[in-house]
Amino acid sequence: MSVSPVGSSLAFSLSAAAPAARAGRPAGAEAAAATPGGDAAGLSEADQRVLQQLKQRDQAVRAHEMAHMSAGAGVVTSGASYSYETGPDGRRYAVGGEVGIDVSPGRTPEETLSRAEKIRSAALAPADPSGPDRQIAARAASMAAEARVELATRARDEGTASDPARAYRIGATGGGAPATGSALDTYA
């Protein structure tokens, strides 16, 4: 599960007991379990545990990738793609996934700040961001910091450096007014 420009997925490994349990099943059991509408009633206890794990993993993966897509409006380049594993019932279960995110900077520092925040929000949207998710969020934070430096440099060059508070606001907010309630007055 990840959000990255290159893409990666986390693998889900089944317990060592699962292949052994499937090996002991009669030859026709796979075909019977793979039929549509078939249930887990004919599966061994080990296969039922594996099946339950796969179902839980499938649900978690799909929710994780959906969180990326819903938070990434404007920066998501492709829908979720999944890697699957076939369960003992013959059905495919998502065990990993990825969502394409455009991590390129904007044309202006202000646009870059806005894009960086969207990228960071999309990367950290799931309740349990993966390692690659956190890397993308860190990359977005770095991109935002570079844009703030560029804005502060521009403000200094334009003569607004005589007002340090204004220069800070420009660097922190991209030139726009801060959202209501988002500023903290630290003057004593």
| Under 8 Å between Cβ of 112 and 75 | no
Q: Where are the domains of the chain?
A: 2-24+43-173
Name the E strands within the chain: 2-3, 76-86, 92-101
Q: For residues 22, 23, 29 and 33, what is the CA-based torsion angle, rounded to 10 degrees?
A: 20
Cα(80)–Cα(68) distance, integer angstroms: 9
The values of phi and psi at residue 181, to 5°, are 80, 0
At residue 42, the pLDDT reads 84
10-residue stretch averages of pLDDT, the chain, 188 residues long: 39 34 42 44 89 96 95 91 95 95 93 95 94 95 95 82 61 58 48
pTM listed for this prediction: 0.62
CA contacts within 13 A on the Cβ side of 68 = 32
At residue 139, the pLDDT reads 95
Cα(93)–Cα(56) distance, integer angstroms: 9
The values of phi and psi at residue 88, to 5°, are -65, -15
| Under 8 Å between Cβ of 144 and 152 | no
